[in-house]
Structure formats: C-alpha cells, structure tokens
Structure 1
Amino acid sequence: MADGRGRVVLAATPIGRPDDASERLRAALAGAGVIAAEDTRRLRRLCADLGVRPAGRIVSHYDANEVARLPALLDSLAAGADVLVVTDAGLPAVSDPGYRLVRAALDAGFEVTALPGPSAVTTALIVSGLPVDRFCFEGFLPRKSAQRRQALAVLAREPRTLVFFEAPHRLADSLDDLAAAFGADRPAAVCRELTKTHEEIRRGPLGGLAEWAAGEVRGEITLVVGGAPDAAPDLAPGALAARVAEREAAGQPRKDAIADVARDAGVPKREVFDAVVAARSAAGPG
C-alpha cells in the first residue's frame, strides 16, 4: 500500500479441485505477509498441490480463536503486511471465519478487498435447476430438531430460492423437517461433493429426497430448496380453520385434518391449531 498499511485480502480457495485455483490466488499465497488460515494443515496441502511456497507467516484463524487473533492481525496490517484470509474451501466469511476481521479492519481504517473464486453457494444454486433470479443463503440449519423446525416455520413462506449448508449425518432429519414445514412436493436439490470426483446432484421433491437420504450419505452437502409458490393460498387464520372444519365434516379426525392443512398450506401445524382454537373461541359455546 502507498501509505505503508497492509490490506485484508479475502481469498476464495477451491471447493474440490486444486486446479480451480486462480493465478491471483497462487500469487497471493506466495507473497502475502501473513496468511490467516482456517486449517493450517489444509492450507499447506493446497500450497503443495499448487506448487506454491508461501513466503509469509501462516497463522491459524478459525471460529474458536478468531476474536483472540484480531489484535495481532491488526498489528500486522499496521506494520504494512497484507493479511490473506483463507478457509478450508470457498469464500471466507460465508459460514466460515472472516467477518470479524473484516469489521475490525474497516473500523480501524484498513482496506479490505477480495480475490473472488469458487463458492459452494452459487455453484449449487446454478446447477440445481431452481430459479436463480432471487435467492437467499441461510447457512447451516440449527442442529436441534425443535430449533430447526422453528427456523423452517419462519422460512416456509419465503418466495426466494433458499440455499443451506448441512452436515451429512443431519441431512435426512433436515429434509424430513423441510418436507413437513414446506410441503413434501416442494422442489429441491441435494448437491454433494461439488466439483469433486464423486460429485452427485439429486433433484426432486423434498419428500422423495428425504426418503433417499434415509440411507448413508457422505461428503460436503449444499442444499437448494425452491421458494414458496407465487400463487400462495389464502393463509389467513379464518381460512385455515375453515379448511380444517371441511375435513372434519367429511369424517377426518381433527389432528389429521390439522396436519394435512398445514402440509398443503406450507405452514407449521401449530399455526393451524391456533387458528382452529381461535375460530372455536370466536364461535362461542354450542
């Protein structure tokens, strides 16, 4: 830098194939004063694959020590060293370390720039076959089922295509919860091991994908789910209660009627239950 101050450089690393690395990434790895890496062993392996010998200092920079690293990294910037931030795969700060350093560096008046490149989010999105004109990234779903279902209930009416990361051992449960919250027919795609030798992309309705995922699934997972249909049904509490009443009049048990209406409307069962209770209260005794 002309003023003698370093920059934070957020660099995208390959999400599967080392030969996807750009020449700019190779040069940055070779020349950065400090490399802040999520996993230093993986970084050294990548450098070996690329035939790059880093000249700068390599430090670990992961979730548990990200805050503790800030003062030393800011000191390096002040001393004129560029700090190159890399994660295990893809873009830093996207469900990975990086944001806190970016914010701290900007607040301290340092420049922040990026070396763009591979991203599992956009790669999965464009191969999913789902609408790409408007989308939102939700990161990892909550690990606990109750919290996950609560989060999905909020997203059930989201019209944009949704992108999630998920661990393979939680995929089946997450797909089951997605099918319950969004409807089993909502289109989706499970993208596994993107760009790698064993890349697999499964496209279909959430219900069918949940059945497939009940078997063993391995590898890095990115999940893409279609948004709520444009022609959304009337979701007013009165309309939901009326649908339940129609099913009950036809002989269906109330519990089953509530579950079916929630599934068809793409809303949580609790919302339909509350609508039924409110309707009965408004009708009064009798």
Structure 2
Amino acid sequence: MSRAVRLASFGGPEVLAVREVPVPEAGPGQVRVRVTAAGLNPMDWIMTADADTAARFGLSLPAGFGTDFAGVVDEVGAGVTGLSAGDRVFGGALSRAVADFVVVDAAGEIAANEVHRTPDGVDDRTAATLSIGGRTASAALAVLDPGPDDTVLIGGAGGGVGVFAVQLARLAGARVLGTGSAGSADFLRELGAEPVAYGDGLADRVRALAPGGVTAALDLHGTETVQAARELGVPDDRICTIAALVDGVPGANGANAAPGALDELARLVAADRLRVPIAASYPLEQIRSAAERQAGRHVQGKIVIDL
C-alpha cells in the first residue's frame, strides 16, 4: 500500500485527507514515479472546489489532489525508451500528484500528464514547482513576445505564475513593473520587477513610475491590470490574461505552452538564470494547512509538499 491525498467530496481544504491506496502499476508507454515533492497551485483547489468545476476538468470522486510533482522513476512500462528506473524526473499528473506514486505517460508533452528528466543542479522541491506555473508563464509570455524595447506591467507578480513571468520577461530584456501588496515590494525587487501597489489608482501609479508608457501587460489574477493597461493605451493584442475572460484580450494557459517549454525552464534553473522561491514546505500529513495557505492567495513564491 501507499499514501495519497483523496477527496471523498468536493470542497475546500477541509475535505483533503491522506489515505492508504494500492500502489499503481505502470502500463505500456507509462512510467511510475516515486514522488519526493509535489508543488501546489491555485488551480488545485479551484478545480476541486465543487462538482461542476471538477467535471470541466474530467474529475470525479474519489479524486486526488495536486498536479506538479518531482521524484524518481520507480517502474518502466512496456515500450518505454529513454527513461530507466532510478532516473530523476519531474512533470504533471492532473489532480493526483500529492501521493507516494504517480503513473504518467512517458512520451509526455501533454500538460498534466507528462514526465521530464530533472537536470543536474535542480533539486526536487524546485523541480516540483515547474509544471503548471512555468507552463502558464511561458504560454502567456509567448502571447506578449516581450523584448528590450518593452515595458511590461504584470499583475499579481509575486504569485506562483508571476515569479516565472517576471523573470522570463526580464530574461527577454524587458523592463517589468509588478503589482503586489506593500509587503511584497522587496520580494518583487528580488525577482527583477519594479513594485507598484495594486488597487484603486493603479494606472496613475504606473504612469508615475513609467512616464514613457507601458507597451504590454499580463494579468495573473483578474481584470484590474487589464483595465489599467487599457487606460494606459496598451492595445488589446498586447494584453494577456490567465484567470479571467475579457472580450478582445487573448488568454493563455499551460496547455498552450510550446513543446520543450518545461525542459527549457529546467535548464534555466540549472544554469542559475531562473530562481524559484519556495515560500514554505509541508509534510504530507499537513496537506490541509498547506492548501489553506495556498488558497489565501498571498503566498510569495511556491508551496511544496514533501513526501
């Protein structure tokens, strides 16, 4: 038997429970991974909050929890090449990653059912944060295509996607203004963003900080940054959202990330060009506390479950 987080009903962190479950077997074309760390994302609790939302993601009860994982290949199914038992790997397993074992497709470029080699120099906790946040940031930045001539406004810059988006935009040569609370200012500066407080008057504060104007914007939370960007004259095709639908504004999600995006992110981490701040790590038994903190939406960086 092995351990896994299971939900007997949909709801908030209070429905999460650690259960004993049979050890899964790797089928043809699959690998079984012994999970050492699982990263949490807002989508984990959003998509399991109620039955209707869960159904849109193809989830039914009893359901698991969490998508991002890292660990070691434990079993290789028939027909798998390129991966062997003992290989360090990371990837995504939709709503089942917080478990001792996950089984995923070895061919893996499909979001939330994929596995990639973990490069030397990338620890498991960090690797376990890359799949959802990294994919989403990569897809959103591909929409904006920032460069050295751009000033990019990123709303929610200190969150799980923001930590990637800020750094990727900076690596592309862009100037980045990042919205957050007053308490997050130092954290945003460490990422490479110039902090600006969110809330009423955002556009005026951005104007004061960047009198030359803003050329692109990414809203990682809702629509406040979209509204400010429009007020500042940013054209809709250079605005992107991930959490809200706005007429005329393109959206992005992790499933749209280009092939190879995750491997490239891992290479950047290994080369010390991309840093993933770990806000906190929790043992599996404290999954409810970890999910509650994640659901508070004020985490600076990522939360990881240690298995």
- The TM-score, its normalising length taken from structure 1, stands at 0.29
Q: Larger Cα Rg: Structure 1 or Structure 2?
A: 1
Higher strand share: 2
* Higher relative contact order structure (alpha carbons within 8 Å, sequence separation ≥ 6): 2
- The TM-score, its normalising length taken from structure 2, stands at 0.27
Higher helix share: 1
